[in-house]
C-alpha cells in the first residue's frame, strides 16, 4: 500500500503547486490506461525483461489518478465561484453543514449552496461559502441542516494584504471555499428549521447535551473548556491565554482529539467487549461493534483529519483481526492515508493531517530504538522512560513541520508530556465514566468533582511549565527547503542506525551541510537589506523600517496596545526577514521630539524622517502646513489619520516623488486622495486599496 500511496501523493502535490490543466490530466490518464490495456493483450506481457513496464505504468496511472481527482475538485470550485459571484443573482438558498462558531461580534457558519435565483429562475447551486451573521437571537439559534435564504452579498476571499501574512484565501481553497459574506439581520431569513436528525446534526446535538451535562455537574469555566476539548473535541470555548500556555508547554496536542484519544477509546471498548469473541462469529460481531464505536466517536468529536486518520487506521486493524490476519503497521497506515486521500485529496494540505501521520510514524520507528537506551528494573521508572521515549520520538518526527508552520519550539516538551499524557489519559477515562454515570445523583456528582480537580491540576501543571524561563523558543525562521533537508537528514540517521552503512553517514553529512549553508546564506543576505514597509492594518498606522537585522516600527497607540492584532499582520514578515527584537514608537510620541537611532541610519524629527538617503514626511490630522517659496523635496509623503488637507494643498509645500495613503484613513478618504493624485499625475499608493506598500532603499 505504501508503494501505491507514494505516486498517488506525487500526483496530488503536483496539481496543488503547479495547478495543471484538468483537460491535459484526463488525456494523460486515458493514455496511461490505454497503454496498460494494450500491454495486457500484447506479446509484451509474456516477455520477462519488459516486466518493469507494468510497474511504471501502474505508478504513472496512480500519479495521474491523484492529479485528476485533485484537478476535478479545483475545476468544480472555480466554476462554482463564477456562479456565486454572478451579478444577476437575486437570492441564494444555503444550508448550514457544520456547527456554528460564536465569535466576538458575529456568528460564523459554513453553508452549502442549494439554489440560486437568477433572472427570476431558480437553478441548482453547488459549492460552500463562509457566512458571518451579525449576532441576534435568530443567528445564535442556527444549527446544522437549517436552511436560510439570503441576498447575494458574497465576495471572493481576499489575498493577504501584507507581506508573508497568513494566507487565509489559500487555506480556505484547500477546503473548497472561495467566497464569504457578512449578513445583517435584514439580509437573510430562516427558510426552514431542520426537523431531521441527520448524522452531523445528531452528533452536534449529542455533543451539546454532553457538554451541558458536565456543566450541570459543576464543571465550569476553564475546566469545562478543557474537558469539552479533551473528551469531546469542542475547542471553541478555550480562551487565548489557555491556548498559548498549552502551546508553549508543548501540550497542545491533548486539546485536539487525535490518535491518542481514539487509541484509548479503542482499548477501552476492545477490552469491554472481549467476551463477545468467545461466541460463534464473535470476532466479526466485536469487530463491527468496535468500528461503529470508533466512527461514532470520530463523528461526535468533529471528524478532524487526525481523528479520521486514527479511526480509519484502527478500522483496518479491527478488520484484519476479524479475518484472523496479521496486519503490517505501515501497510495499515498507508492504506488509511490512501482511503482518506481518495475521499478528499486536499486533506494532504491539512496541518493536522501531516502532523498526525508524522507523529505516528515517528513513534513506531524511532520510539523502540530510544526506549532501548535504558532498561529499568522497576515499573515506575520504566513507565516514565517509555512516556519520555514516545515524547522524544514524536517530537523528532514533527518538529520540522512545527517550525515551518508555527516558528516556535517548546523547550520543555519532555517535562510537559511526562505530566500531561498520564493526566490526559486519566481525564479521558474519568470523563467517559462520569458521563456514563451522570444520571446517578451521588455517584455522578463525586465523579464530576474528581474530574474537575483533575483538569484543574492539568491546567495548573501546564501554566507552571509555561511560566518557566526559556519555556519557548519563538520566531524561528524555517522554510519549505529547510523542512525537506531536515527530514531527509533524519531519514539518513535512522537508516544509519538500522543498516550501519557509511553511505548514510556521508549523505546525512551532506544534507546537514546544505542546511547550514542555506541558513548562513539567508543570514548573509539579511545583513544588506534596507526596507520601508507601510502595513495594511485597517484603521491603524504601522510604518516599518528594516535595516539589516534591526527593526523599527512606528505605530499608533491603539495598535501597540493590541499586540495580538499587531503581530498577526507583521510577525511573519519579521521572521521571514530575520530581524531581531523590534523597537516600537508611538506616533503620538513623535510630536515635539527628536529621534536619532544609533547605528540604524534613521533620523526622526517630529513628522520628518530620513532613512539613508530616503526623505519621508508623515502627514497626520494635526499636521501644520507651512508654505515656503522653495518646496521641500521628499521621496515619500505618507498620509494618515484622515487628514483634511488635499493633495493639491500638500504640493504647495512639498515636491514628493511618491505618495502613500496608509490604512488609518477611511475608504472614502483613500479613494478621494488617490483620485486627486491621479488627476495631478502623481504616483500614489493606497494601502487599503492596493495592499501594503514596500520599498527597498538603495
Q: Which whole number is the average pLDDT over 73-88?
A: 71
Residue 138 within any structural domain of the chain = yes
Q: Last residue of a domain, which of 82, 100, 129? A: 82
Q: Residue 225: inside a domain, yes or no?
A: no
Q: Please say which residue of 494, 512, 527 terminates a domain.
A: 527
List strands edge to edge, sheet with 693-696.
Answer: 583-586, 550-555, 542-547, 530-534, 693-696
Whether residue 593 is found in the same domain as residue 484: no
Question: In CATH, what number is assigned to the domain containing residue 153?
Answer: 2.40.50
Q: How many domains does the chain have?
A: 4
At which of 196, 216, 243 does a domain end?
196
Report residue 72 as a C-alpha cell.
476535478
| Same domain, residue pair 652 and 506 | no
* Confidence (pTM): 0.86
DSSP label at residue 644: S
pLDDT average, residue stretch 594-610: 73
- pLDDT at res. 250: 81
327 lies in a domain?
A: no
- Does the residue 152 lie in any domain? yes
Beta bridge partners of 610: 603, 615
Question: What domain range includes position 507?
Answer: 480-527
Give the list of residues 6+ apart from residue 50 with CB closer than 8 angstroms, or none.
44
Three-class DSSP category at 116: strand
User: 586: closest CA among 640, 506, 644, 626?
Assistant: 640
pLDDT for 33 equals 74
Same domain as 171, residue 155: yes
pLDDT tens digits, 233-279 = 888 788 888 888 888 888 887 777 777 778 888 888 888 888 887 77
Would residue 467 count as lying in a domain?
A: no
Does residue 504 carry a pLDDT above 90? yes
Do 91 and 55 belong together in one domain? Answer: no
Please check whether residues 639 and 515 belong to one and the same domain: no
Same domain flag for 640 and 678: yes
**Does residue 101 register a pLDDT over 80?**
yes
pLDDT value at residue 598: 54
pLDDT in tens, 5-49: 999 998 888 888 877 776 667 777 777 777 776 666 666 566 667
The answer to whether residue 39 is domain-embedded is yes
Cα separation, 642 vs 665, in Å, equals 5
Q: 3-state DSSP call for residue 603?
A: strand
Q: Residue 489: is its pLDDT beyond 80?
A: yes
Same domain for 35 and 125: no
Q: Are residues 538 and 682 in the same domain?
A: yes
Do residue 166 and residue 94 come from a single domain? yes
How high is the mean pLDDT of the chain? 85
pLDDT above 70 for 594: no
* Low-confidence winner among 159-163, 649-653, 669-673 (lowest mean pLDDT): 649-653
**Co-location of 537 and 618 in the same domain:** yes
Same domain, 560 and 523: no
User: The CATH number of the domain where 620 resides is what?
Assistant: 3.60.15.10
Is residue 385, in this structure, part of any structural domain at all?
A: no
What is the distance between the alpha carbons of residues 471 and 415, in angstroms, rounded to a whole number?
Answer: 11
- Return d(Cα 486, Cα 71) in angstroms, integer: 30
160: cell is 493577504
Q: Give which of 356, 350, 302 is closest to 333, Cα–Cα.
A: 356
Q: Would residue 228 count as lying in a domain?
A: no
37 and 113 share a domain?
no
Residue 15's pLDDT is 84
Alpha helices in 528-562 (DSSP H): 557-561
pLDDT band at residue 698 under the 50/70/90 scheme: confident
Amino acid at each position: 500500500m505504501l508503494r501505491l500511496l507514494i505516486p498517488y501523493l506525487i500526483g496530488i502535490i503536483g496539481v496543488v503547486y503547479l495547478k495543471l490543466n484538468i483537460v491535459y490530466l484526463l488525456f494523460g490518464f486515458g493514455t496511461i490506461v490505454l497503454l496498460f490495456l494494450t500491454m495486457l493483450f500484447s506479446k509484451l506481457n509474456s516477455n520477462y525483461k519488459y516486466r518493469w513496464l507494468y510497474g511504471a505504468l501502474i505508478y504513472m496511472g496512480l500519479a495521474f489518478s491523484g492529479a485528476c481527482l485533485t484537478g476535478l475538485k479545483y475545476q468544480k470550485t472555480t466554476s462554482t465561484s463564477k456562479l456565486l459571484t454572478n451579478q444577476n443573482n437575486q437570492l441564494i438558498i444555503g444550508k448550514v453543514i457544520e456547527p456554528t462558531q460564536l465569535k466576538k461580534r458575529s456568528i460564523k457558519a459554513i453553508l452549502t449552496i442549494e439554489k440560486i435565483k437568477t433572472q427570476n429562475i431558480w437553478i441548482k447551486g453547488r459549492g460552500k461559502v463562509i457566512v458571518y451573521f451579525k449576532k441576534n437571537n435568530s443567528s445564535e439559534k442556527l444549527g446544522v441542516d437549517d436552511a436560510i435564504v439570503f441576498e447575494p452579498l458574497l465576495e471572493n476571499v481576499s489575498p493577504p494584504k501584507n507581506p508573508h501574512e497568513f494566507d487565509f484565501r489559500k487555506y480556505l481553497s484547500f477546503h473548497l471555499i472561495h467566497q464569504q459574506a457578512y449578513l445583517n439581520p435584514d439580509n437573510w431569513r430562516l427558510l426552514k428549521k431542520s426537523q431531521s436528525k441527520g448524522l452531523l446534526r445528531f452528533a452536534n446535538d449529542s455533543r451539546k447535551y454532553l457538554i451541558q451535562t458536565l456543566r450541570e455537574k459543576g464543571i465550569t469555566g476553564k475546566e469545562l473548556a478543557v474537558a469539552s476539548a479533551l473528551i469531546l473535541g469542542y475547542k471553541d470555548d478555550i480562551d487565548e491565554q489557555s491556548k498559548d500556555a498549552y502551546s508553549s508547554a508543548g501540550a497542545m496536542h491533548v486539546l485536539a482529539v487525535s490518535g491518542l484519544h481514539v487509541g484509548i477509546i479503542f482499548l477501552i471498548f476492545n477490552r469491554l467487549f472481549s467476551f463477545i469473541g468467545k461466541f460463534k462469529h464473535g470476532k466479526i460481531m466485536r469487530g463491527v461493534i468496535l468500528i461503529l464505536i470508533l466512527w461514532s466517536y470520530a463523528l461526535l468529536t468533529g471528524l478532524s483529519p487526525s481523528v479520521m486518520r486514527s479511526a480509519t487506521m484502527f478500522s483496518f486493524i479491527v478488520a484484519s483481526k476479524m479475518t484472523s490476519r496479521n496486519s503490517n503497521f505501515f501497510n495499515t497506515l498507508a492504506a488509511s492515508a490512501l482511503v482518506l486521500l481518495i475521499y478528499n485529496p486536499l486533506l494532504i494540505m491539512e496541518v493536522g493531517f501531516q502532523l498526525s501521520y508524522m507523529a505516528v510514524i515517528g513513534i513506531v520507528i524511532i520510539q523502540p530504538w530510544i526506549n532501548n537506551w535504558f532498561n529499568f528494573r522497576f515499573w515506575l521508572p520504566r513507565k516514565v522512560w517509555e512516556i519520555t521515549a514516545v515524547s522524544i520520538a514524536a517530537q523528532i518526527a514533527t518538529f520540522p513541520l512545527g517550525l515551518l508552520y508555527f516558528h516556535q519550539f517548546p523547550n520543555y516538551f519532555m517535562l510537559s508530556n511526562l505530566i500531561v499524557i498520564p493526566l490526559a489519559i486519566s481525564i479521558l477515562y474519568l470523563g467517559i465514566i462520569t458521563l456514563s454515570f451522570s444520571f446517578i445523583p451521588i455517584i455522578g456528582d463525586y465523579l464530576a468533582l474528581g474530574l474537575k480537580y483533575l483538569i484543574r491540576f492539568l491546567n495548573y501543571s501546564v501554566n507552571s511549565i509555561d511560566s518557566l524561563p526559556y519555556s519557548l523558543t519563538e520566531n524561528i525562521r524555517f522554510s519549505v527547503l529547510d523542512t525537506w533537508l531536515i527530514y531527509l537528514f533524519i531519514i539518513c540517521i535512522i537508516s544509519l542506525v538500522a543498516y550501519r552503512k557509511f553511505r548514510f553517514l556521508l549523505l546525512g553529512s551532506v544534507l546537514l551541510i546544505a542546511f547550514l549553508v542555506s541558513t548562513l546564506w539567508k543570514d548573509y543576505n539579511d545583513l544588506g537589506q534596507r526596507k520601508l514597509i507601510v502595513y495594511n492594518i485597517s484603521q491603524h498606522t504601522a510604518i516599518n523600517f528594516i535595516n539589516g537585522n534591526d527593526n523599527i516600527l512606528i505605530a499608533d497607540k491603539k495598535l501597540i496596545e493590541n499586540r495580538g492584532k499587531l503581530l498577526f499582520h507583521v510577525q511573519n514578515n519579521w521572521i521571514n526577514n530575520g530581524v531581531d527584537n523590534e523597537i516600537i514608537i508611538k506616533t503620538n510620541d513623535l510630536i515635539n521630539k527628536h529621534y536619532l537611532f544609533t547605528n540604524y541610519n534613521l533620523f526622526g524629527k517630529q513628522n520628518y524622517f530620513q532613512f539613508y538617503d530616503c526623505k519621508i514626511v508623515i502627514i497626520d490630522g494635526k499636521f501644520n502646513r507651512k508654505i515656503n517659496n522653495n518646496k521641500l523635496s521628499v521621496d515619500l509623503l505618507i498620509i494618515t489619520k484622515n487628514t483634511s488637507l488635499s493633495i493639491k494643498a500638500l504640493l504647495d509645500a512639498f515636491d514628493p516623488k511618491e505618495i502613500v495613503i496608509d490604512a488609518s484613513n477611511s475608504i472614502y478618504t483613500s479613494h478621494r486622495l488617490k483620485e486627486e493624485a491621479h488627476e495631478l499625475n502623481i504616483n500614489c499608493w493606497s494601502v487599503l486599496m492596493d495592499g501594503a506598500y514596500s520599498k527597498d532603499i538603495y
